[in-house]
Amino acid sequence: MILTCPQCATRYFVREGSIPEDGRNVRCASCANMWRATAADLTVDLSELSQEDVYSDASPPPPPVVEEPPLPTRIREKAKAERRTREAMAAGVVWAVLCAGFALVLVGAVLFRVQVVRIFPATAGAYAAVRLPVNPTGLSLEQVQGGTGLSDGRPSMIISGMERNVETEYRPPAPIRVALFDKAGRRVKEQVSQVEGAPLQPGETRAFTVRIFDPPIDVAEFQVEFSLEALDANRKKTQHEPRGHVAGAKRLPLRGTTATAEPAVEGSHPVEAKPLPSNSPYALPTEGGLRPAAKEP
């Protein structure tokens, strides 16, 4: 009997009775096509077959029919495929969460960059590198000018200007950093000066003057900016000081403490108080007015 593959038209010799009446699942050994073969698919025309395609009864025929794998094997393969699918989905969810978290961190770092720089002043350089400059002081520098001159009889570089509060709330004055550069652009000297005074109201300005004594003779230009490091140090110092503390104030000893008193001024000694004589013009009157206190027996 001849069985022909419907996919590639390869024909096989099948023993009579190998294909039952209700059919059988077979697979082509040439193209791996699987189909349900029935007795109606068998033919007996041997005219087109060569001698190599016809096998005698003594020789074993090739295995043209491959049965489907048993049911437990298919179940295990399906379970493995489902497990791989779940693992891939879990990995995808983890990567999606990580990417979303990273995106949120980037968005927060951009939206709240002022607060970030106020907490970590060193990040101001990183924001400036990506063209997102941050001004955590809330102040602006205006009318900055400078030149050489004499201060207290010494040659000096004198830089002046104003700080303006550009926000809607009070801002303390920020320290000023002045850097001097030579013609090659090298920094030759730097000085940080504090700007004293009460916090600035919104829109208020505060003048400052920085004097750098004995500047190098090869100074070609100067740069004025806020010193974020000094500003952060001032804030930390203010946070650690007790409320109501005044710089330079002397703490008085509490009553009852065993602290030693300060030494008296040389030449001063305690003097015992004595009553004035009755004929003294500074004595209290004894009649018609105050009376002296009665002495105890």
According to DSSP, residue 39 is labeled: G
According to DSSP, residue 73 is labeled: H
Strand partners, 189: 180
154 contacts: CB under 8 Å, gap ≥ 6: 213, 214
Can you point out the beta strands (E) in 5-94?
11-13, 24-27, 34-37, 42-43
Round to whole Å and give the CA distance between 98 and 116: 22
- Residue 18 pLDDT class (50, 70, 90 cuts): confident
Is 90 exceeded by the pLDDT of residue 282?
A: no
Is 90 exceeded by the pLDDT of residue 161?
A: yes
For residue 160, report the phi and psi dihedrals to the nearest 5 degrees.
-130, 160
| Amino acid sitting at position 260 | T
Residue 205: per-residue pLDDT: 92
Average pLDDT for 272-282: 67
Average pLDDT for 202-211: 91
Domains along the sequence of the chain with CATH: 1-68 (no CATH), 139-240 (2.60.40.10)
Which of 12-26, 32-46, 161-175: highest mean pLDDT? 161-175
Residue 239: per-residue pLDDT: 65
Residue 281 in tokens: 């013009």
Chain Cα centroid distance, residue 95: 20
Question: Are the C-beta atoms of residues 35 and 9 closer than 8 Å to each other?
Answer: no
176-181, strands of its sheet edge to edge: 187-193, 176-181, 221-226
Residue 271: per-residue pLDDT: 61
85 contacts: CB under 8 Å, gap ≥ 6: none
Residue 78: per-residue pLDDT: 84
Residue 297: per-residue pLDDT: 40
Is 80 exceeded by the pLDDT of residue 74?
A: no
Please indicate whether residue 127 or residue 215 has the higher confidence score (pLDDT): 215
Is 80 exceeded by the pLDDT of residue 52?
A: no
Round to whole Å and give the CA distance between 21 and 41: 11
- Residue 286 pLDDT class (50, 70, 90 cuts): low
**28-42, 107-121, 158-172, 275-289: which range is least confident on average?**
275-289
Residue 110: per-residue pLDDT: 81
Element housing 117 (H / E): helix 113-119
Q: What percent of the chain has pLDDT over 90?
A: 15
- Residue 137 pLDDT class (50, 70, 90 cuts): confident
Question: Are the C-beta atoms of residues 136 and 226 closer than 8 Å to each other?
Answer: no
Task: Kindly report the average pLDDT of the chain as a whole number.
Answer: 75
Question: Are the C-beta atoms of residues 155 and 145 closer than 8 Å to each other?
Answer: no
Average pLDDT for 91-119: 84
Question: Are the C-beta atoms of residues 22 and 35 closer than 8 Å to each other?
Answer: no
**69-73, 82-86, 99-103, 229-233: which range is least confident on average?**
69-73
